Amino acid sequence: MDISQKAIREGHESILQLQTKQRTLSVKELNEEKLGLLLAFVRQLERTPPGAAELQRRTKLFGECNRLQGETSSRFHGRLRHWLDRDVPQTKSPLCPRQIDD
């Protein structure tokens, strides 16, 4: 059997399994899974210097984005997604010295 055909078939099978899993999960479970993935993304950002700096900038500009008591996973996911997606105003960068033509 051709290796590429086998890889394609296995890829299709894994996609089908994922789709089947998503169909069988309840809406609540899907929301929990989506929130878990987003929180994992934020934790990954915290581990890198540029990501940590970006999160600090957002916290300084927009305040912290923590889950409120009694807040549903769906609502918190939406708030956190919005907090992460908001445009951060550009800060002025230092001017470069002018180049002088001879």
What are the sequence ranges of the domains in the chain?
A: 9-84
pLDDT of 26 reads 78
pTM (2 d.p.) = 0.63
**Distance from C-alpha of 25 to C-alpha of 41, rounded to nearest angstrom:** 22
pLDDT along the chain (102 residues), means of 10: 66 75 75 93 94 94 94 94 89 60 50
Residue 92 three-state SS = coil
Angle between helices 49-62 and 73-85 (to 10 degrees): 100
Nearest to residue 86, comparing CAs of 67, 61, 53? 61
Element (H, E) at 80: helix 73-85
**Distance from C-alpha of 42 to C-alpha of 38, rounded to nearest angstrom:** 6
